[in-house]
Amino acid sequence: MCTASICTIGDEILIGQIVDTNSSFIARELNKIGIKVVFIASVQDDQAEIESKLALCRSISDIVITTGGLGPTKDDITKRVLGKIYNARSSYYHKEQSEIIAEICKKRGIEVSTLNRDQALVPDCCKVLVNKLGTAPGMVFMEYPDNDPAPKLLFSLPGVPYEMRSILPEVLKRIEDQYSLESIYHKTILTYGIPESGLSEMIADWENALPSPVHLAYLPNPASGVKLRLSVYGEEISYARKLVSDAISGLKPILKESIYGEDDQTLESVVANVLTCGSKTLSVAESCTGGRVASRLTMLAGASNYFKGGVVAYDNNVKTGLLKVDPEVIEKFGAVSSECVIQMAEGVKKLMQTDYSVATSGIAGPSGGSDQKPVGTLWIAISGEDRTISVKVILSGEREQNIERFSSYALNYLRLFINNQYI
């Protein structure tokens, strides 16, 4: 199996200033095309460090992908070090990248400084991967080990995540062109509401009966549920697709409505699709989630097609005044109650004149809990054309995690409701 190492370069990672999200993204994409990532490393902007750790990466894997260290300032030395490692004789200004740099400077209304112009200066021993979104081009270096028929590749990519992501498809294409990779087929089934251990018990018989080419991986995530990835390696794609499709047909009757989507979908994108396709509208009323449900929905482009708005009813006076929750309900049952959250959902639906609404009220912590309503208690209500339902969830976690998971539960129950899958 073709192997890869990922090496992120930059002091800002080693002093803990930024979280390295590039490695995870690249690892996932390599994995999808059947390349095994065997090592991930982060090193300082230091010549000896970069040389020694890249030597290690090159010795243990076919492919090395580096990100970072390509900025215009003097602390960024990756390009120079790579030129040295791969025996560059000279450098030249890459024409297309130079033009892009000029264009970027023009847009920003600044002159092309020497530092910026030199971003297009590349060692003669590399091929350039043009960066349309930034000044630093990507580069590919090749070497031909003595006793190995296939060349080894090293890709150097910019550290800015969206620039890196814009070049990565070209990287994957070059890898696929260079290596005769096993054909690979993945399909991911997304589930919500059943913990990993429970899920694995439920599908044990199905899992044991999977045909041998089909491999199953559990990918749990607190905010997006457990993803089940089915993979087939080394088989003809149409055959692999049939195997996986048959397996999924067997899975659906077991997990039923716990399955919310496939591959790159999310709870919010699924809700958005259903509402947009049905030309239905949504509003939200949030207490403990404090705007997180609305924020997740509106992070997706096109939210204005179905989302009219929301009320963050943090204070009880907002619940009673704006959402018309009966003060006696709060007096008698508390704000964290089925009765209150139902009135919140119905209130916001009427206020915003939408087809559906969702409401949350709970205790995110760290304080505010009691024996009867511990920290982690959440009431959710969903209201539709002719009915409103409520449901209680109890989680254990810290405040931020609780709020994030509260919002996932709310989105999931909303999904079930609008699909008529929950009574």
Binders in 329-368 for a second copy, by CB under 8 A: 351-353, 365-367
> Which is closer to a second copy, CB of 35 or CB of 381?
35
2, 9, 34, 37: residue in contact with a second copy (rule CB under 8 A): 37
119-178 residues in contact with a second copy (CB under 8 A) are 162
301-330 residues in contact with a second copy (CB under 8 A) are 301, 303-304, 307-315, 317-318, 322
Min CB(145)–a second copy separation in Å: 20
The answer to whether 322 touches 301, Cβ cutoff 8 Å, is no
Q: Let me know if 117 is exposed, middle or buried by CB neighbors in 10 A (0-12, 13-18, 19+).
A: middle
* Alpha carbon distance 127, 2 (integer Å): 22
> Per-residue x/- marks for a second copy, 247-286, CB under 8 A?
-------------------------------------x-x
**Residue 291 in contact with a second copy, rule: CB under 8 A:** yes
390-419 residues in contact with a second copy (CB under 8 A) are 397-401, 403
> Which is closer to a second copy, CB of 126 or CB of 358?
358
Which ranges constitute the DSSP H helices of 334-421?
338-352, 399-418
**Residue 204 in contact with a second copy, rule: CB under 8 A:** no
**Residue 421 in contact with a second copy, rule: CB under 8 A:** no
Which residue in 251, 269, 271 sits closest to 356, CA to CA?
271
What would the two tokens of residue 162 be?
């969206």
The one segment of 147-155, 296-304, 338-346, 379-387 that binds a second copy by CB under 8 A: 296-304
* Alpha carbon distance 229, 350 (integer Å): 41
> Which is closer to a second copy, CB of 46 or CB of 170?
46
- Length of the chain as a residue count: 423
**Residue 294 in contact with a second copy, rule: CB under 8 A:** yes
Q: Find the helix packing angle between 267-277 and 399-418, rounded to 10°.
A: 30
* Alpha carbon distance 107, 18 (integer Å): 28
Min CB(200)–a second copy separation in Å: 10
Which residue in 144, 168, 145 sits closest to 155, CA to CA?
168
**Residue 54 in contact with a second copy, rule: CB under 8 A:** no
47, 59, 221, 419: residue in contact with a second copy (rule CB under 8 A): 221
What would the two tokens of residue 23 be?
């490695």
